[in-house]
Amino acid sequence: MTKGEAFAGLSVATTTPFRDGEVDYAALRAQVEFQIEAGTTCLVPSGTTGESPTLTHDEHERVISAVIEAVAGRAKVMAGTGSNSTAEALPSTRWAAKEGADAALLVAPYYNKPTQQGFYEHFKCLAEQIELPLCVYNIPGRTGKNIEPETIFRLAELENITMVKEATGSLDQASEILATTNLTVLSGDDSLTLPMMAVGAQGVISVAGNIVPKDVIAMVDAFQNRRIDEALAWHQKLFPLCRDMLGLSTNPIPIKAAMKMLGRDTGELRLPLTPLSESEEAKLHRTLTAYGLL
C-alpha cells in the first residue's frame, strides 16, 4: 500500500475558463459537474493547465475555493499551490487547507534552479507546517531542473509527502522511485499513463481527462483489474488525442482549443499564451473527428 493511494485513478488538471478577460466561474462550475458525472477521482485546479502563472493571487485562491465549493465532497480536490518562492507557496497551501482541499500539488521551484538540498528544504518546510497530503510535481521540462530520485527518497520520509506527479518522461526515474519509496506515483504525461502503470504508478493527473474522462478511467480501471488487452486498446485509442493535447503547442493551448471546438469553453487564453495557428487547429479538428468527438 502506498501513502497516497486514496488518489489513485484519474485526477484531472482542470483548465481555468476565461470570458472577456475574467475568470468565468459559471463555466468552471460546469467543468466540475462534467467531471463528477464521469466519476473522476480528483480535480486539480490552479495548476499548469489552469494557467496559474497568469492568475492573480486573488484569482488563484478564488478558483481553488470555487472548485472546492462546487465539488462539495463528491470527489477529491488537489489544489495547485506551488511556487518558486517557499514564502509564497506556504500561505497559498495554507489557504487551500483552510478552504477544505484534500491535498496540494506543489510544483518544483522553477527559474531559480535550487540545488537538490534547496529542493529538499523547500518541500520539508511546507510538509512541516501544512497537514495536508502533499504531491511533489516534478516537471523539469518546465522548471529547468530535475528533482533527482535521491532527493525524492529523502522527501518520502516526511509523513505528509505522499505522492509524486512524475512528468520527467523517464520510466527509469519512475521505476527508481517506485522501487525504493512508498510514495504513490501519478503519471504527469497522458501518453505515458499505461507504461507508467506497468511499472507501478497508480493513475494520472491528466490533461486529456478534461474532454474524455470516462475513457481515461476505463483504461486505468482495465489495467488495475488485469484486463491488459483492454487497457492496451484504450491506450492505443487515446494516444493520438493525448499526443496532440501536449504536442501541438504548449499546454493548455491545445486543450482549450479542443474544449472550444466541443462547445465547452471560449478557448480564451491570457498572454503570453496565444491560440493555435490555422494549420494546428485543422490538425486538432482532424484528431477530434477521428476520435469520434466531432
pLDDT (tens digit per residue) in 162-189: 999 999 999 999 999 999 999 999 999 9
Bridge partner residues of 206 (DSSP): 12
In the annotation, is 111 catalytic?
Answer: no
Asked if 32 contacts 65 with a C-beta cutoff of 8 angstroms, the reply is no
Answer yes or no: 165 catalytic.
yes
Report the distance separating Cα 270 and Cα 167, nearest Å. 24
Within 8 A by CB and 6+ apart from 221, the residues are 9
pLDDT, mean of residues 220-229:
98
**Per-domain residue ranges for the chain?**
5-227
CATH architecture of 5-227: Alpha-Beta Barrel (3.20)
pLDDT at 284: 97
State pLDDT tens for residues 97-114. Answer: 999 999 999 999 999 999
Share of the chain above pLDDT 70, in %: 100
pLDDT at 67: 98
Helix 25-38 × helix 57-71 angle, to 10°: 40
Look-up: residue for cell 499548469?
48
Q: What is the pLDDT of residues 142-164, one digit of tens each?
A: 999 999 999 999 999 999 999 99
* pLDDT, average across residues 228-246: 96
Q: Catalytic residue among 120, 137, 145, 256, which?
A: 137
To the nearest 10 degrees (0 to 180), the angle between helices 86-99 and 116-129 is: 30
